[in-house]
Amino acid sequence: MIIRLLLCGFCFSICSSYADEVIWKGKVDSSGIPTKLIDLKIHDQYQIKVSQYINLGKWVQASERLANDACYQFDEKAKLSPHKYESIKNSHNISVCDGKYHDDHVYLSEPFIAKQNRIFFWIYDIDYDDNSGALDLEIIHKSK
């Protein structure tokens, strides 16, 4: 019994040391102001997770106000088909969009290897004066 407990504790410590870790969590404001620089380790593997949605102006279609998540423009009542529009950008040019609209507005990039030691994010729009809201963003350090 003692040996089993020791083995379980050993396995738990090994498994937990290889778990993915959120290294940064914050908001990307629709005002267009970039996030702070987020440190990465060159050659380590990461993923980007973006969730929530924002309003990029006073756009209305078929009498419905439009909103934007990381990858699509849509109406909140789901009467209209979502339209591709990648609203979040980053200094590594890594997309979180996979070509599919996510009803929960959560998008996850493919894992990527850091080629630079910092990354930052911003919302892409032409006119920022009428925007509101912020997207939630996480940088996940992938286990080895």
Q: What separation in angstroms does the CA of 113 have from each of 63, 89, 97, 138?
A: 44, 17, 17, 16
**Taking residues 76-92, what's their average pLDDT?**
88
Asked if residue 74 has pLDDT above 60, the reply is yes
Q: What is the DSSP string of 82-113?
A: -EE---EEETT------SS--TT-EEEPPPEE
Mean pLDDT, rounded, for 44-57: 95
Tens of pLDDT, residues 3-47:
554 445 545 444 445 689 999 999 999 999 999 999 999 999 999
Would you state the pLDDT for residue 5?
46
- What is the rounded average pLDDT of the residues 92-98? 98
Contact of 133 with 53, CB cutoff 8 Å = yes
Reply yes or no on domain 21-141 having CATH 1.10.3470.
Answer: no
> Residue 62 has what pLDDT?
60
Structural domain boundaries of the chain? 21-141
Mean pLDDT of 124-129: 92
Model confidence, pTM: 0.83
Report residue 63's pLDDT band, with 50, 70 and 90 as the boundaries. Answer: low
Residue 81 has pLDDT above 90, yes or no: no
